[in-house]
Structure 1
C-alpha cells in the first residue's frame, strides 16, 4: 500500500479532508435546461472518495453558462436538484464545493436563453461555439456592463453563493479564471474601460474583490475559495506585461481577506506548464492558506509538487472522469483506466457514469 503524501489526510484549522486528492471542476454538460440531471447524483456520488469534490461550472444567471447543458443554481428547481447531488456525496462521506461562474462574453444568445452576452467591454471572442441546432456560430459582441449595473452582478454572485449553501454545499469556489467574466475584468485585453473598473491593477481587480467581499459577508470567509489561471492564454486572452504584478496584487489582497483557498489552473502546452515553479514559490510567500493546483498532473508529478511544499492539494480532471475511485486507486497502487474524449462534453450516461470502480483485489466492480 502506498504511503504517498497525496493520499494522506489533510487537516487544517478550517477544513479536514480524507486526502489531498481533489476532483477538479469540469463542465461535463449533462444538465437538462440548467437543472442537474439524476445521473449527476450518481456521477458525483461515485467520486465522493476524493478529499474534495469541486462541482461543474455552475452558472449564476441564465446568460452565464457559456456552453449548452451547463447547470445553474439561480432557480428553485436547480437548487433543489443540487441538494440531491450534495446529499448523495455526503452520504458517502464526501465534501463538495460549488464552483460559481458568469461566463461573460464566452457563449452565444442561442445558448444563453436568447439573452445578450455581457462583458467589461464590448469586445467579442473571435471563436465559434456549438449552439442547440448543433451548428457552430461565432460568439456575438457582448454588451458592456455599465458602471451602474456592476453592483447588480456582484449581488448575483452573493445570492447564488447563498443558494449553494442552502443546497448543502460545503463551500463555494468563485471562478475568476479561463477567460470568463471576472477574468475578463482582470485582463486589459478584454477590459478597456475608463471608469473605476478599468486601467490600473486596482481598478481591473475591483469587480473581483467586490464579489469576494460580498460572498464572504454572506457565507463566511472559510467557506470561500477562488480559481485563478495566471499566464493562461484562452479565448483571445494573451499574457500581458502587468500579469505577474496583477496576480501578486490579487494574492496579497486575498490573503487579507483570509479565504480558505486559492486554486490555480495550470495549462500544459508542449510539455511546458503555464504556471512556473517560480510563480508558485512567490504565491506561497504571499498567500498562507490552502493552495490547490490543477492541470495535467499524473499521480507521480502530483506527488512531486506536493513534496515541494508549494501546494497543499492537487486537483485531477481527466483522471477523475475515467477513474471514479481515483483516490482509492492511488492509495492502493492500482492501475488507472483511460478516458474517452468523445464523451467528455456531451452525451448521456455513456462515458459519464459507466466507468467501473476497481476493488483492492483488482477485480472490476461497476
Structure 2
C-alpha cells in the first residue's frame, strides 16, 4: 500500500514523497515580470515537497493577467528563475514551472502599449482583475486569428525551452481557472466557426497543440497539465463539461505526459472517478485536501500524488509536520498577494516553532 511518504515516479523523475506544492500566485515580481530576490528563498524553503509546481508564469507578455506576476520570456526573467531552480535543487527538491496565459481575463493596463487582451472569441468575461490601480473590469478581448494562435503556441514552445534552460525540471500547462487554454475548451468563451471552435474536437485542439509543441521541445515526460472542471472561475462556462473533459483526457492517452493534475472545487460530479480511468499516466489530485483525505486517496489508488496549496504556503516544512503529527501554521490571507517578505518567507519551520 502506498502512502504520502513513499516514492513515486512522475514523468522521468522519482520523487521522494507524494506531496506536491500547488501553483499559487504570490505577486512578488516587478513590473517587468522579473521575480524578486525573495523568490528563491520562498521556493527553497519548501523543497521537501516531492514536487513544487511554481506560481503561474506568463509564457509571453501578452499572457500577463495580474499586477506583479512573473514571466519567462526575457533574459532577465530567465536569469531570475535560474536562481530559483538552483536554490530548490540545492535543497534536494524538484520544481516544475506553471505556464499561465490569462487570455481574455487580462487588462490593457497590464499589456504593452495598452493592447487588448486576446481570447478565442470577442466575448467579454464578467468580473475584474487586479491591476496597478486596483480592481478593473474585464474588457472585450480581441479574437485571435489563426496566425496569432500559431504565434501563441510558439510562445508556449519557447517558454518550455527557456524553463529547462533556467534549470526547471519540467513545465505544467495551466488549462484551468478560466485562462486561455480553458477559454478555448469551453463553449461559453469559444464561439469560433473554424478548426478551433464548435465541436469538442475543435475546442480541444488548442490545448493539444500547445502540449505537443512543448513536448517536442523538452520531452513529453517533462510536461504536465492542470485542469479543473466546473470550477467556473473567471466566468468560464461549458455546456457539457463531462463530455469536454472526458474527450480531452482521452486524447492525452499515449502522449507519455509527466502527469495530469486535476483540482476540484465544488464540481457537481466526481470527476476523479470519471477521468482517472481514462488517463494512462500519473494522476495528481488537488483541491481542499488535508493529510487524512490525501492519505486516503493515495492508499486507495485514486491518486498517485496529492497537491496542497495554502498548507504549503504557511508551512514550508509540510511533509515533516505531517510525518510528526505537528500543528500547522495558519495562512495569513492578507499577505497572499502583497509585496514583501511578510507572509511569504517568514512562516516558521517546525524546528523554529519548537524553539520559540
Quickly name the TM-score band, shorter chain normalised. over 0.9
Instruction: Provide the rounded CA distance (Å) in 1 between the counterparts of 2:101 and 2:331.
Output: 28
Instruction: Provide the rounded CA distance (Å) in 2 between the counterparts of 1:175 and 1:336.
Output: 28
1:362 positional shift: 6.3
Instruction: Provide the rounded CA distance (Å) in 2 between the counterparts of 1:24 and 1:7.
Output: 17
Does the residue aligned with 1:351 lie in a helix, a strand or coil? coil
Structure 2 partner of 1:97: 96
Does the residue aligned with 1:105 lie in a helix, a strand or coil? helix
Runs of 4 or more, structure 1, over 4 Å off, are: none
Instruction: List per-residue Cα deviations over 1:118-168 (Å, max 9, x = no partner).
Output: 00001111112232123x221111110012221111101000000000000
Instruction: Provide the rounded CA distance (Å) in 2 between the counterparts of 1:312 and 1:264.
Output: 12
Equivalent pair of 2:120/2:183 in contact (CA under 8 Å): yes
TM-score by length of 1: 0.93
Structure 2 partner of 1:363: 354
Larger deviation: 68-77 or 102-111?
Answer: 102-111
Equivalent pair of 2:11/2:222 in contact (CA under 8 Å): no
1:12 positional shift: 5.8
Instruction: Identify if the C-alpha distance between structure 1 residues 322 and 4 changes in structure 2 by more than 3 Å, giving closer, same or farther.
Output: farther
Equivalent pair of 1:230/1:275 in contact (CA under 8 Å): no
Instruction: Identify if the C-alpha distance between structure 1 residues 176 and 364 changes in structure 2 by more than 3 Å, giving closer, same or farther.
Output: farther
Equivalent pair of 2:188/2:238 in contact (CA under 8 Å): no
The residue correspondences of 1:250-289 to structure 2 (distance < 5 A) are: 250-267=248-265, 273-274=266-267, 276-277=269-270, 279-289=271-281
Q: Given the alignment of the two structures, is residue 328 of structure 1 paired with residue 326 of structure 2, yes or no?
A: no
Instruction: Provide the rounded CA distance (Å) in 1 between the counterparts of 2:25 and 2:11.
Output: 30
Instruction: Provide the rounded CA distance (Å) in 2 between the counterparts of 1:323 and 1:44.
Output: 12
Instruction: Identify if the C-alpha distance between structure 1 residues 156 and 303 changes in structure 2 by more than 3 Å, giving closer, same or farther.
Output: same
Instruction: Provide the rounded CA distance (Å) in 2 between the counterparts of 1:352 and 1:12.
Output: 28
Q: Paired residue for 1:248, among 242, 246, 249?
A: 246
Instruction: Provide the rounded CA distance (Å) in 2 between the counterparts of 1:346 and 1:195.
Output: 42
Q: Which runs of 5+ in 1 are unaligned?
A: 268-272
Instruction: Provide the rounded CA distance (Å) in 2 between the counterparts of 1:284 and 1:62.
Output: 34
Structure 1 partner of 2:329: 337
Instruction: Provide the rounded CA distance (Å) in 2 between the counterparts of 1:42 and 1:275.
Output: 39
Instruction: List per-residue Cα deviations over 1:194-237 (Å, max 9, x = no partner).
Output: 01100001100111111111111111010000011112111112
Equivalent pair of 1:63/1:109 in contact (CA under 8 Å): no
Q: Paired residue for 2:25, among 19, 24, 27?
A: 27
Does the residue aligned with 2:109 lie in a helix, a strand or coil? coil
Instruction: Provide the rounded CA distance (Å) in 2 between the counterparts of 1:8 and 1:274.
Output: 29
| Aligned Cα root-mean-square deviation (Å) | 1.6
Q: Paired residue for 2:290, among 287, 298, 301?
A: 298
Instruction: List per-residue Cα deviations over 1:6-60 (Å, max 9, x = no partner).
Output: 1222246732111100000001010112001110010000000100000010001
Instruction: Identify if the C-alpha distance between structure 1 residues 150 and 184 changes in structure 2 by more than 3 Å, giving closer, same or farther.
Output: same
Equivalent pair of 2:11/2:258 in contact (CA under 8 Å): no
Instruction: Provide the rounded CA distance (Å) in 2 between the counterparts of 1:328 and 1:116.
Output: 46
Structure 1 partner of 2:47: 48
Equivalent pair of 1:232/1:239 in contact (CA under 8 Å): no
1:239 positional shift: 4.4
Instruction: Provide the rounded CA distance (Å) in 1 between the counterparts of 2:38 and 2:281.
Output: 34
Structure 1 partner of 2:38: 39
Instruction: Provide the rounded CA distance (Å) in 2 between the counterparts of 1:38 and 1:31.
Output: 9
Does the residue aligned with 1:68 lie in a helix, a strand or coil? coil
Structure 2 partner of 1:148: 147
Structure 2 partner of 1:118: 118
The residue correspondences of 1:51-62 to structure 2 (distance < 5 A) are: 51-62=50-61
TM-score by length of 2: 0.96
Which structure's residues are more often helix, by fraction? Answer: 2
Equivalent pair of 1:334/1:362 in contact (CA under 8 Å): no
Q: Which runs of 5+ in 2 are unaligned?
A: none
Q: Given the alignment of the two structures, is residue 350 of structure 1 paired with residue 342 of structure 2, yes or no?
A: yes
Instruction: Provide the rounded CA distance (Å) in 2 between the counterparts of 1:93 and 1:171.
Output: 16
